[in-house]
Amino acid sequence: MKSVHLVCSPELIMLLSRSLEHEGYVISGKHSTLHSFIRGFSSKEVDPSSIVIMEGGAGLGTPVKAAEIIGFMTLIRKYLKHTRLIVQLDPALQTDIEFIRTMVNMNIHDLQFTTEFRGDDLLNWIREKKTTRDYYNVLGKKKGLFSFKGSTTAPAPVQPSEEPAPAPARPVDSLTRPQPSASSRTGAAPAGVRPSPSSGSGGGSASPRPRPSARTESPAADEVTLESLEQSIPAEEQHSAPVASTRILGSNVPLVIGICGAGGEEDVGAAAFLLAAGLADLGWKPLVCGDNRPEISSLEQIVFEGEQEDSASTMFEYEGVTFYRRGYSWDISELLASEFTHIILWVDIHQERKGISGLELWWNSQIPILVGNGAMWKYELLKEKLNTLNPFERKRCRLLLENGHQEVLQILKKDFPEIQATLMPAHQDPLYPDKEAVEWVMKLLTVQKKLFRKQTLLWGIAGAVLFVTLLLIGLGMSFVPQSR
């Protein structure tokens, strides 16, 4: 049975309910604000198997801020991990690329940037399920066919090429995303008017259907914080999350850094560890996520002293950097709600992975970093790889050259002036960067050194308390009269 949960204003609930019920949908629940919808998790008022149609600013003040919406969507995704969410948003957010990227990273693809719509538009939203490919016109896409093996999306149908490209001397894997099919849909629904009671073809003719009890909340404004709403989520759902955190995603969204190799043979781990160690040295709290990486297993053995049977912890910390343990799956939407300041996704775009493909994770990150071999004798191969990217993609990603030299960098910037390329600093151990390497990380990621680290601040407070205590004891002893 097709069921829909509505999260919107009471007036719109009344209009949408009639249209949907006439089309055979069952309204499993109704909430007038995002606050009440989240509170409904604890009382089991929300059916995770239902499709959720919501106004992105339901119950929020105007103008609605993108960070505020993301905060609520993070909490909703924390409970409804696999529920399909259809979100109606203000058209002004359609140009906010980072907002769209964050929503897509949380597996929220059905975004409708319109404030007015007809009943038929609503049904089309339900029928036409979107994917990441529908946002390539915003995030950038590669023109031409794609022959990447590891993509989880179906390949586009082959169309006759106007200029058939000659077969290359050796196969070069594309670094771009799959080409959307010719029938890909536009991101925004056509503007119109809100559905009226007559938007269906006669609501009274539909046969009565049994449905769960639907509770409609009052439109009163909810003066509660996101922290209090998170506490209302069932405890078993919170404990199932791999990242225990009390910080809500809002204005301080963790910076997601995707890093991969251009050809697959580069030492991407050294670059990932160098970035993470540099951030930790600057006082930030980075998290490194890698799929089945033996390098992380080596660190894991050092930390846990070979106790691989330990199943209690999903991550460990080494030299100020937190790592996800090998073999544990992680979800990007949950990581975005963590207390970490930087999330480094160490992915392989040339191999398949469970869930979202490595290529999509890399492209949807805020800072996609490509590691290439900077040796002169491998420059032609690197050039062929970069030619599979269009100028927009080359401008957005950052290229790190290992084993590179200044002359290679100069030639690269001449051939590809739009790309941000830099030489990786020499390092004996990437987990112990020197001063020059830390400064290189600062310049690459445009971060500054934190003035006060949490641990240093705690030690300072403890020292101050101890000093005051000793001072008071000393003063007290000086006033005690000497016994005869």
Q: What whole-number distance in Å separates Cα of residue 111 and Cα of residue 428?
A: 47
pLDDT tens per residue across span 32-74: 888 888 888 877 888 888 899 988 888 887 778 888 888 889 8
Can you name the residues that pair with 242 across neighbouring β-strands? none
DSSP helix/strand/coil, 29: strand
Q: What is the per-residue pLDDT across 424-460, written as a single tens digit (0 to 9) for each? A: 998 888 999 999 999 999 999 988 887 555 556 677 7
Strand ranges inside 75-149, DSSP E: 85-89, 110-113
Alpha-carbon distances, residue 358 vs 160, 289, 355 (angstroms): 29, 12, 9
Token pair 């004798």 in the structure block, residue:
377
Which amino acid makes up residue 333? S
* Predicted pLDDT at 337: 76
Given a contact cutoff of 8 angstroms between Cβ atoms, the answer to whether 421 and 399 are in contact is: yes
pLDDT tens string 143-176: 443 333 343 343 344 344 444 444 444 455 677 6
Whether the CA torsion 163, 169, 170, 172 is positive or negative: it is negative
Is the separation of the CB atoms in 266 and 376 below 8 Å?
A: no
Residues 143, 164, 358, 188: is their CA dihedral positive or negative?
positive
Per-residue pLDDT, 195:
44
| Whole-number pLDDT of residue 279 | 94
> Do you find a cis peptide bond into 63, omega within 30 degrees of 0?
yes
Q: Which alpha helices (H) appear in 251-387, and where do they start and end?
A: 268-281, 294-304, 332-335, 358-364, 379-387
What's the average pLDDT block by block, 10 residues per block, for the chain (484 residues)? 83 78 85 87 83 86 83 88 90 88 89 78 84 79 40 39 43 57 40 40 36 42 61 52 37 81 87 94 92 85 69 84 86 80 89 80 87 91 89 87 90 92 90 92 87 61 82 70 55
Bin 446: left if φ > 0, else alpha if -120 < ψ < 50, else beta.
Answer: left
Threshold 0.85, pTM exceeds: no
- Strand 342-346 relative to strand 367-373, pairing: unpaired
Contact 227, 339 (CB under 8 A): no
Beta-sheet strand order (sheet of 420-423): 315-318, 321-324, 286-290, 342-346, 255-261, 367-373, 398-402, 420-423
CA distance 45 to 12: 20
Q: Which amino acid is at 477?
A: M
Nearby residues of 426 by Cβ (< 8 Å), 6 or more positions away: none
